[in-house]
Amino acid sequence: MTKSIGTRELADWLDGTLQATRFKDYCPNGLQVEGRERTGHIITGVTASEALLRAAIERNADAVLVHHGWFWKNEDPRVRGPRRTRLALTLAHGLNLFAYHLPLDAHPQLGNNAQLARVLGLEPERVDGAPRTCGPDGLVWLGAAPGVATLGDLARRIAERLGREPLVVGDAQHPLRRVAWCTGAAQGMLGDAIDAGVDAYITGEASEPTVHLARETGTGFIGAGHHATERYGIQALGEAVARQFGIRVDFIDIDNPV
């Protein structure tokens, strides 16, 4: 018989591990849609898109665990169009939908920032064993990029390890001593990174004012891709679930160029 766990027990473990209640987020974290009472097979992915849901259904999964879930603040709450399709698929097939946004970004071992550091070979600064951070909720990590001398070197490493060319603002020969990073759409925290005294900041996206701020302060900026920088935390979380409960967890990467 395939091993399974009570869905409520799983939800409690995830909430506790990620300290979900600690964050004032843009969406509800945790079990967003309740399905089957027991979970034995989980599909993880970055976003709870229709494509990911259909892949989970095809594989007879009991739950979907993602970084980007549903019910974002200021969204149109009406259930129609793509929202209706996603919700109908989830309910019709008894899927549990778990989503963790900021709690997954911030976790010191499993989180997106921690896992991006691992993939890119970044070395976080530590204070009493914890990563040194800045910005709201300590979401921006501070550290160094050993083996990387310039902004251009860092951009080349990112392209190689993430499999896509990043957006780079700044002189490729700009020397690097200290860097900061925050995955996803964290371009608005560039100012916090600058105030912390870094030479370059890595995130997923850029907005129009980002370029001017980077240029005018002489701070290197790298937009490495929202999806590309957030593929790794959800994989680490899924692997932790599999170790903890001995159930099947599979990651599916739905390609996204953004």
pLDDT in tens, 212-235: 999 999 999 999 999 999 999 999
Residue 256 within a domain: no
Task: State yes or no: pLDDT of 1 exceeds 60.
Answer: no
Query: Helix 112-120 vs helix 232-245: angle between axes, to the nearest 10 degrees?
Result: 110
Task: State yes or no: pLDDT of 2 exceeds 90.
Answer: no
Confirm or deny that 68 is annotated as ligand binding. yes
Q: Nearest-5° angle of CA 87, CA 49, CA 239? A: 110
Confirm or deny that 105 is annotated as ligand binding. yes
Same domain, 110 and 167: yes
CA distance 123 to 120: 9
Nearest in space to 196 (alpha carbons), one of 144, 239, 129:
144
Confirm or deny that 93 is annotated as ligand binding. no
Same domain, 244 and 161: no
Residue range(s) defining the domain that contains residue 242: 5-101+231-251
Asked whether the beta carbons of 206 and 213 are under 8 A apart, the reply is no
Q: What is the pTM of this model?
A: 0.96
Same domain, 196 and 244: no
Confirm or deny that 230 is annotated as ligand binding. yes
Same domain, 125 and 166: yes
Confirm or deny that 160 is annotated as ligand binding. no
CATH number at residue 68: 3.40.1390.30
Which helix (DSSP H) or strand (DSSP E) does residue 116 occupy?
helix 112-120
Q: What is the pLDDT of residues 30-51, one digit of tens each?
A: 999 999 999 999 999 999 999 9
Average pLDDT, the chain: 97
